[in-house]
Amino acid sequence: MTRLKSSLRDLIKVLIVFTVCTCVFYMALRMVHEEYERQHRYDPPGGTAIKVYQPLEQPWTDRLSIFFRLGE
């Protein structure tokens, strides 16, 4: 009976340590996420930036052939 109590006590200790470590890890991930959420990644560029991509109107057959040729 004492061996069962000892095993149960050890199991409870491990579960408590696991739960605490999981909570700490979760809170750390939330802090990192909040820090990165505050950054504005998609601000318009400043200075003398110009738009590089201007789509051309092409027939869908030409676009399909380019897709198959280049694999993009």
User: Around 39, how many Cα atoms within 13 Å sit in the side-chain half-sphere?
Assistant: 5
Query: In angstroms, what is the C-alpha Rg of the chain?
Result: 29
Residue 8 is assigned to a structural domain of this protein? yes
In which residue are the tokens 């340590």 written?
17
- 10-67 pLDDT per residue, tens: 999 999 999 999 999 999 999 999 988 888 777 777 788 777 777 677 788 888 888 8
> Could you tell me the residue range of the domain that residue 18 belongs to?
1-36
* CA distances for 23 relative to 5, 26, 32, 42, angstroms: 27, 5, 14, 32
- Give me the pLDDT at residue 10, please: 96
pTM across the whole model: 0.52
- Give me the pLDDT at residue 72, please: 61
Residue 32 is assigned to a structural domain of this protein? yes
Residue 29 is assigned to a structural domain of this protein? yes
- Give me the pLDDT at residue 60, please: 80
Residue 60 is assigned to a structural domain of this protein? no
Count of structural domains within the chain: 1
Residue 47 is assigned to a structural domain of this protein? no
d(CA 37, CA 30): 10
DSSP labels, 11-28 = HHHHHHHHHHHHHHHHHH
Residue 6 is assigned to a structural domain of this protein? yes
- Give me the pLDDT at residue 20, please: 98
Residue 13 is assigned to a structural domain of this protein? yes
